[in-house]
Amino acid sequence: MRVSIFGTGYVGLVTGTCLAEVGHDVVCVDIDQAKVDGLKRGEVSIFEPGLSPLVHTNHAAGRLQFTTDPVEAIAHAEVIFIAVGTPPEEDGSADLQYVLAVARTIGQHLDKPLLVVDKSTVPVGTADKVGATIAAELSLRGVDIDFEVVSNPEFLKEGDAVNDFMRPDRIIIGTENLEAIETMRRLYAPFVRSRERFVVMDVRSAELTKYAANAMLATKISFMNEIASIAERVGADVEMVRQGIGSDPRIGWQFIYPGAGYGGSCFPKDVQALARTAHQYGLQPRLLEAVEAVNERQKEHLFELIGRHYDDAIAGKTFAVWGLAFKPNTDDMRAAPSRRLLEQLWTAGANVRAFDPEASAEARGIFGDRGDLVLCDSEYDALKGADALVVVTEWKQFRSPDFARIAEALTDSVLFDGRNLYQPDEIEEAGIAYYGIGRGRSIAQPRCGAKE
């Protein structure tokens, strides 16, 4: 099938590439000239495991084209995906300007019947707005062309996006138009050969499903972070509690890891946008507001632990920071907990030596050149001249480090483990003071002072 994708970011590029991989003829269009030029040269600007080789082979085979020309993309397509960003507005609601700009462009250039697919995460009612925007442009042109707007929210995870797209848990299609359902089934048939994974519903339910999924996952994280805060105060270890509850299949193991708070481009903005929608309809979303408030508090927690250890005397100290991306296997630092921590450390007069396996370039773009930040080449390089170590992202390569080497390198021999990667006993045996999240035992007995 001939498909065009508006927006060549994480979602648009993965969608376009995976559709091309199964044989569809795909044009990806973006307004970012540099991004499109790079993709034409075979340069994939984001880090996403497995994506680059697929982009190369499909581009070389002619099934995956890149352009900045929307007219070319619209002329090409039987199906158009809208996969542009929906960032938060000041009040938390989703900013639809990019989505509606694409809708206007489609209306201005459409010359044959077409299926328009909302893949961006958009508030309930957006498919209607997209439809009305296209219709208004067609009417300005004085033409009458059939088109249909369906909702098809995306559930891929950054870091495993290609795998998620190629082997989806479910494909949500929001429309009551039988022809549109048939077209979407044909488009996705190669991804669901072994088992039926289509869930077809009305468009508003599909739009709400995406927010409900992200809000549920964010809720699990904030719940566990709140339990961690309680564990810390009562002298319990949340890791034991996690083991104790995860085996209950009604609770499950996933998304019950306490940590430094959730970040990324989706959970924070989607929880806020859903809360905003509830307010707009006269409902106070108490649970969603609490989920967000707990997360905001959690993002401050590592810094609180650091302040507790040092009696707030942090100025002039140097912190090795392991991990900057909001989670492993991505270079994405949008709303990453590391950003809050670094700002707090700098405000307190501390210096940072940071290492992330993939996000260094992103960090350089965000923070620029500054005297209190050194971006290092390895986790051990980050330890050089540092007083303490803070682990912020749970990259696999941080899981089993050489603790003797850490103990030797750190002037103050203290480790703040923002992801509970380590066993406190093992760290303490190496002569390093340990702070984790919700590990009441180590918090109850804070240790101060530099190494003798």
Ligand X SMILES: NC(=O)c1ccc[n+]([C@@H]2O[C@H](COP(=O)([O-])OP(=O)(O)OC[C@H]3O[C@@H](n4cnc5c(N)ncnc54)[C@H](O)[C@@H]3O)[C@@H](O)[C@H]2O)c1
> Which residue has its beta carbon closest to ligand X?
9
Rounded distance, CA 118 to CA 138, Å?
A: 19
Q: Which two tokens stand for residue 401?
A: 């480090």
Is there binding between residue 150 and ligand X (CB under 6 A)? no
User: Does 18 qualify as catalytic in the annotation?
Assistant: no
For the chain, the residue count is 452
* Pairing mode, strands 147-151 and 114-118: parallel
Q: How far is the CB of 14 from ligand X (least distance, A)?
A: 8
Give me the least distance between CB of 188 and ligand X, in Å please: 16
Q: What is the DSSP secondary-structure string of 73-139?
A: HHHH-SEEEE----PBPTTS-B--HHHHHHHHHHHHH--S-EEEEE-S---TTHHHHHHHHHHHHHH
Q: Is 258 in the site for ligand X (CB under 6 A)?
A: no
Contact stretch for ligand X (CB under 6 A) within 6-14, 294-302, 345-353, 357-365: 6-14
Q: What is the dihedral of CA 276, 279, 281, 286, to 10 degrees?
A: 110
Angstrom distance (rounded) from CA 399 to CA 4? 41
Instruction: Please answer whether residues 79 and 117 qualify as being in contact, where contact means their C-beta atoms are separated by less than 8 angstroms.
Output: yes
Q: Which one of residues 27, 83, 208, 375 is an interface residue with ligand X (CB under 6 A)?
A: 83
Beta-ladder partners of 3: 26, 79
Find the part of the chain contacting ligand X (CB under 6 A) among 31-39, 235-243, 387-395, 409-417.
31-39
Site residue total, ligand X (CB under 6 A) = 26
Of the candidates 3, 7, 226, 302, which one interacts with ligand X according to CB under 6 A?
A: 7
Among 3, 6, 276, 388, binds ligand X (CB under 6 A): 6
**Shortest Å distance, C-beta 317 to ligand X:** 35
Answer for which of 32, 78, 95, 289 binds ligand X (CB under 6 A) is 32
Q: How far apart are the C-alpha atoms of 321 and 342, rounded to whole Å?
A: 9
Q: Is 213 in the site for ligand X (CB under 6 A)?
A: no
Select the residue interacting with ligand X from 4, 12, 317, 340 (CB under 6 A): 12
Task: Pick between residue 277 and residue 344 the one whose CB is nearest to ligand X.
Answer: 277
Q: Using CB under 6 A as the criterion, which residues of the chain lie in contact with ligand X when the complex forms?
A: 6-12, 29-32, 35, 83-86, 98, 101-102, 120-121, 154, 156, 158, 265-266
